Amino acid sequence: MISSSEISLTRKTSTGKMLSEGAVYFVLIASSLVAVGVTIGIVMSMLFEAVQFFNLVPIQDFLFGLEWSPQTAIRSDQVGSSGSFGAVPLITGTLLISTIAMLVATPLGLASAIYLAEYAGPRQRNIIKPILEILAGIPTVVYGFFAALVIAPFIRTTGGSFGLEIASESALAAGLVMGIMIVPLISSLSDDVINAVPQELRDASFGLGATHSETIKKVILPAAISGIAGSLLLAASTAIGETMIVVMAAGLAANLTANPLEAVTTVTAQIVALLTGDQEFDSAKTLSAFALGLLLFVVTLILNIIAQKIVKHYREQYD
Amino acid sequence: MTNSFVMRSSKSRKRHAAEMRFQWMGRIAIIIAIGFLVFMVGSIAMMGAGALKQTHIAFDVDLSHNEIDPAFPEKADYDAIIKASLRKAFPDITDRREKRELYRLVSAEASFSLKNFVVNNPAHIGQTHKLWFIASDDVDLFFKGNITIDEKGNAGRLNAQEVAWVRIFERNQNIETRFNTRFFTAGDSREPELAGILSSLTGTAFTLLITFLIAFPIGIFSAIFLEEFIPQSRWGDIIEVNITNLAAVPSIVFGILGLTIFLNTFGMPRSSPLVGGLVLALMTLPTIIIASRAALRSVSPSIREAALGVGATQIQTVFHHVVPLALPGMLTGAIVGMARALGETAPLLMIGMVAFIVDVPNSILAPATALPVQIFLWADSPERAFLEKTSAAIIVLLVFLVLMNLIAIILRSKHRQRF
C-alpha cells in the first residue's frame, strides 16, 4: 500500500488534477454517507410521529394494552371517539404467524441444507441450490395471492370436512406460505455454515467408525449450531417484517388468540391499513402506524444484530 | 462368537437404516420445497393462461344516415346504435329486463370502438356491417369454459336465457376467442374485460429507471470508498455494520421513510414514480454496495500495485484500472437488486402508488402504479374475471424477473476472471 505522503507528492505536480481528485474524493465520501443518512432518516421519520403518538396515548397503554381498535370518530362528541391502541393483539398475531412460518421453514430449511452440504454432489448442488433460491426471489405479492386464493380456501374446506370451523383468513394459511418463502434463507446460510465446519472434524468422526448421519448429528451440527441459530434468527426477522402475505391472506381482525385457525392481524398489516388512503397527521389513528413502524424496526434490528454477531463469532472460530 | 456377530450385524443394519432415513429426510425436504414452487407457479400459470385469449362477439350494425350525420360522425349516439343492432339480431325480445340482459353480453367499450370505426371509415356510413366487439367478462368466462353451468342453468352471473343467446351466437359462428392484445396495450379498468397492464408496466419502468439512476452510482461510489480508500478503518466498520443492518430492514419501513421524508417533508408528488424510485433506490442500495464490494475485492492486488508502481495516483489506479475490471460484477449486483425492487409492493403502498390508473403515465411525476401493486389491487377485486388477469399479470412479472436474473447470470459467467 502506498503511503499518504507519497500521494501528496504526486499531487503537487498539477493543481488541476489535485482539484478534480478532491472533487472525486468528496463524491466518494458523500456517497458512502448516504447509507448512514438513510438509517438516520428511518429512525427520525418514525421517531417524531411516534413521540407525538405517545403524547396522545401513553406508551404503556400501547405496549401492554389488550385491545386494538384504532378508529377515531368523525365528530368529537361521538361515543368511543378515542379508539384503543393496545398493540398486544398485533404482537401476538405477528408472533403466531411467524411461529407457524418458522415451524414450517426450520425442518425444511435445515434438512435441505444438511443434504446439500453433506450428501449432494457438486452437480446436484449446482442445480438444487439456485432452484431453492428462486423461492426467495419470487415477489411476496405472489405468495400473498397464492395464500389467499389457493391455500386458505383449501385449508378451509379440508378443515370443514373434519368439522373444524376455520376462518377464511386464518393465520395458518399465511404462516404456511410464509414458511415456504423463508426456506432458502435458512438453507442457504446453514449450508454455508455447515460447509465451513473443518474437514478434520468429519475425518476424525469417520475414523472412529461413525456413519455419515451420526457424524452430522453428533459432530457437525453441534459445531455449526451457533451459525445455524444465526440463520434462524435472520429468517425469523424476515418473517416478522413480511407485509404482503399477511395483508392479503391474514386480514385485519385484531383477535387476541393463539389458535392458528382463527383470523389474526399483524403489525405490518395494520401499518398498511392505517397508512394507505387519506391520512390526517394529527390523529392518533395515523400516528399509531409510526409507533408500530418503530416497534417493528427496533425488534427486527435487534434480531439482526444478534444474528450477525453470532454468525461472525462462528466464522472467526473456524477461520 | 456367532451370537455377537449376529448382534453386531443387526445393529449395523439399524445404523445403516438410520443413515438412509436421514438422507431421505433431506431429499424429502428439498422435494417439498421445490414441489411447492412448481405447484404455485404451475397453478398460477394455468389460471392465467386464459387471459391471453379474449372473447369477441359479432353482429350486424346498421350505420344508417338517420343515426349518424356524415358531417359530424363523432356526435352520434353509438351506445344506442349498438343496442338497436342487438335488438335487431334478436327481434323476438320485447321484455325490458330481457333487453337489458341482452345488452350485457357486449362490453361497455363497444360504443367507443364503433365510434372509432365510423370516424376512421366515414365511407361506411349508410351501410350495414357485421362488426366484432369485445364480449363482456361474464360471456368471456363462460365461453372460455372457466365457469360451468349449474343445475339452474346459470353460468356464473349469466342466467339461462343469456347462456342460450351465447349458444345462438356460437351456432352462427359469431363468437370467437382471439389473442388478447388489449391486456398488453390498455391501462387499468373497472371492467375486467377491458383491463390491461400497460399503465402499471410503464409505471414500473419509470420507477426502476429512477431506482437504477440513483442506486447504481451511489452504490458503486460508496463501495469504492469503503473497499479502496478506507479498508479496515473504524469509520469503514461503522458504515459496514450500518449497511448490513440496512439490508435486513423490512421493506415496509422504507415505505414509511418515503412517506414522511419525501412526501410530507419535501412535498414531492404522491403516487409518482419519482418517489417510488427513490424509496426503492434506498432499499436496493445495500444490495448493490455489498455486491460491488465483493466485485472490487476479487480484483487482484497486483493490478493496483502495478498502477501505483508506474506513478498513478490512488484515484487514477481505482478508476482507470480496478473499477473497469470490477464493473461487470457491480452491474450483476445492481441487476439482482433491481430484480428485488421489481417485485416490491409494500413500500409502494405507503407512498400512494395504489391509485386506480387508467392512463399510461407520461412522466416520472405523473400518478402511476407498479405491476406488483396492480396485482395486489386486482387480487383484491371481487370480480371473478380479475382472477385470470391477476394470474396473467403475475406471469408477466415472473417473466421479467427471470429475464433480469438471466442477464445477471450471463454477465457473471462472461466476465468471470481469475487472477
Which secondary-structure segment (H or E) carries B30? helix B2-49
Going by C-beta distance under 8 Å and a sequence separation of 6 or more, which residues neighbour residue A39? B242, B245, B246
B345/A7 CB distance under 8 A:
no
Count up the domains in chain B and report the number. 2
Residue B47 lies in a domain: no
> What pairs with residue B155 in β-bridges?
B158
Q: Give burial (CB, 10 Å; 0-12/13-18/19+) of A131.
A: middle
Residues B162 and B227 in one domain: no
pLDDT tens track for A30-59: 998 999 999 999 999 899 889 988 988 888
B387/A17 CB distance under 8 A:
no
Residues B174 and B223 in one domain: no
Predicted pLDDT at B38 = 96
pLDDT tens track for B12-41: 888 888 899 999 999 999 999 999 999 999
Q: Which of A99-103, B244-248, B371-375 shows the lowest per-residue confidence on average (mean pLDDT)?
A: B244-248
With contacts defined as CB-CB under 8 Å, which chain A residues touch B406? none
Range of the domain at B111: 52-180
Percentage of chain A exceeding pLDDT 70: 89
Nearest neighbour of A304 by CB, restricted to B37, B245, B345 = B245
Residues B231 and B374 in one domain: yes
With contacts defined as CB-CB under 8 Å, which chain A residues touch B397? 139, 142
Q: In the 8-state DSSP scheme, what is residue B361? A: P
Nearest neighbour of A213 by CB, restricted to B18, B238, B343 = B18
A212/B19 CB distance under 8 A:
yes
Residue B215 lies in a domain: yes
Residues B207 and B176 in one domain: no
Residues B176 and B204 in one domain: no
Distance from CA of B114 to the nearest CA of A (A): 37
Task: Measure the CA–CA gap between A186 and A106, rounded to whole angstroms.
Answer: 7
Residue recorded with cell 402511476 = B368
A145/B375 CB distance under 8 A:
yes
Predicted pLDDT at A72 = 57
Residue B337 lies in a domain: yes
Q: What is the mean pLDDT of residues B337-356?
A: 90
| pLDDT(A6) > 50 | no
Residue B37 lies in a domain: no
A39/B245 CB distance under 8 A:
yes
Nearest neighbour of A42 by CB, restricted to B244, B253, B352 = B253
B18/A114 CB distance under 8 A:
no
Residues B322 and B386 in one domain: yes
Residues B248 and B336 in one domain: yes
Residues B167 and B237 in one domain: no
Predicted pLDDT at B413 = 81
Predicted pLDDT at B6 = 53
| pLDDT(A2) > 90 | no
For the domain that residue B234 is a member of, what is the CATH number? Answer: 1.10.3720.10
Ordered structural domains, chain A, with CATH? 84-318 (1.10.3720.10)
Angle between helices A88-114 and A221-241 (to 10 degrees): 140
Residues B369 and B238 in one domain: yes
Q: In the 8-state DSSP scheme, what is residue B55? A: E
Predicted pLDDT at B189 = 85
For residues B251-261, one letter each, b for 16 or more C-beta atoms within 10 angstroms of the residue's C-beta and e for the rest, the string is: bbbbbbbbbbb
Residues B203 and B103 in one domain: no
| pLDDT(B155) > 90 | no
Task: Measure the CA–CA gap between B265 and B283, rounded to whole angstroms.
Answer: 19
Q: What is the mean pLDDT of residues A2-8?
A: 47
Q: What is the mean pLDDT of residues B99-122?
A: 84
With contacts defined as CB-CB under 8 Å, which chain B residues touch A134? 37
Residue A1's pLDDT band, with cuts at 50, 70 and 90, is: very low
In chain A, % helix, strand, coil (3-state, to 5) comes to: 75, 0, 25
Nearest neighbour of A32 by CB, restricted to B32, B239, B405 = B239
Residue B206 lies in a domain: yes
Predicted pLDDT at A14 = 58
Residues B324 and B394 in one domain: yes
Predicted pLDDT at A9 = 46
A49/B260 CB distance under 8 A:
yes
Residue B230 lies in a domain: yes
Half-sphere exposure of A108 (CA within 13 A, CB side): 27
Q: What is the mean pLDDT of residues B354-365?
A: 84
